Structure 1
Amino acid sequence: MTDARELVIGYLDWYRAALMRKLSGLSDEQLREPVEPLGWSLLGLVQHLGWVERRWMRWGFAGEDVLAYPAGGDEAEWTVPVDRSTAQVQAAYQREVTEARALAAGASLNDKARLGGRFQTSDEAPSLGRILFHLLQEYARHVGHLDVARELIDGTTGE
């Protein structure tokens, strides 16, 4: 790949798939139980990344009027309520990824974020390329965290 857009989106999709791949084979209890000494669950990480996708792409790039943070802040973002199933968390995450992909599909890397959501002035508004690069580094960091958590849970190591 030599096209920068194709490269960034391709790697971002690779990390999104890696996130799901690294969860496979674990029980619901293993996905929900906070991993010590990290203090967060794998399912909580998936939930967090759904919020990250929403904040950067829908609220950020598209300027949509959406809830950007859950009531309860960081703790609520990382803590999966007992009455929320694993399937519900994963479906919510996948919906945000689908929305993000659709927004990126119709735009160039140079397109600036719309005003009114996360960004209020033209000076604040980054390009889609900058936003996707931020998402890419966010995934790279968290998928690395997931490797550590998975090794603590069952000894499985990452690539």
Structure 2
Amino acid sequence: MTDRTPLPLDGPGVKVGDPRELLLGYLDWYREALRRKLAGLTDAQLRAPVEPFGWSPIGLVQHLGWVEKRWLRWGFAAADVVAYPAGGDAEEWAIDAPTDEVWSAYEEQVRQGKAAIGDAGLQTVAKTGGRFPTEADAPPLGRILFHLLQEYARHVGQLDLLRELIDGTTGE
């Protein structure tokens, strides 16, 4: 006989049905999952590129900081920020700073991104002049949050594979 007890749902509370609350709740859940999946790795393990991926776990954290900045601050809020490092993708994933500084920079981008959203509704269209040059190019906040959610889901899933290659730990 097998146990038919349903597994608890991930993300926001089981009774959450509001689309905005769901998107923001799942983004927070994936941001926390990023930390969970990297917990217990040494600094050397966090910084070493993993083959066949070619990037390090902390490099992914740095990349996601840039993603947060591009989509929420430069994208939604049209803030005048540097959206891409001068060295392109190679620099975005390369780690030159200490690990704790990479985490701090990531957390600051999350904080500033949340501030850029504020209490805007999902139908609020991104400001123009940043990532989106015209109103015709500018998506609503819901579209931006959905993009961020899929970006996190993909990368956090990749961390399951990375972690298993590094030390055999498997994800949920």
TM-score by length of 1: 0.97
- Report the alpha carbon displacement of residue 111 of structure 1 after superposing the two structures with TM: 0.4
Identical-residue share of aligned pairs (%): 65
Aligned to 1:110, which of 106, 123, 128? 123
Aligned to 2:112, which of 96, 99, 109? 99
TM-score by length of 2: 0.90
Are the aligned partners of 2:50 and 2:162 in contact in 1 as well (CA < 8 Å)?
yes
- In the alignment, the residues of structure 1 paired with residue 136 and residue 83 of structure 2 have an alpha-carbon distance, to the nearest angstrom, of 21
Are the aligned partners of 2:77 and 2:117 in contact in 1 as well (CA < 8 Å)?
no
- Report the alpha carbon displacement of residue 101 of structure 1 after superposing the two structures with TM: 1.4
How many residue pairs match? The answer is: 157
- Report the alpha carbon displacement of residue 37 of structure 1 after superposing the two structures with TM: 1.4
Is 1:17 equivalent to 2:55 in the alignment? no
Structure 1 runs (4+) deviating above 3 angstroms are none
Aligned to 1:64, which of 73, 79, 97? 79
1:112 maps to a residue whose letter is: V
1:57 maps to a residue whose letter is: L
Larger radius of gyration: 2
Partner of 2:11: none
Is 1:33 equivalent to 2:20 in the alignment? no
- Can you list the C-alpha shifts for 1:112-156, whole angstroms capped at 9, x where unaligned? 000111111101000000000000000000001111000000001
- Can you list the C-alpha shifts for 1:17-50, whole angstroms capped at 9, x where unaligned? 0001111100000000000111100000000000
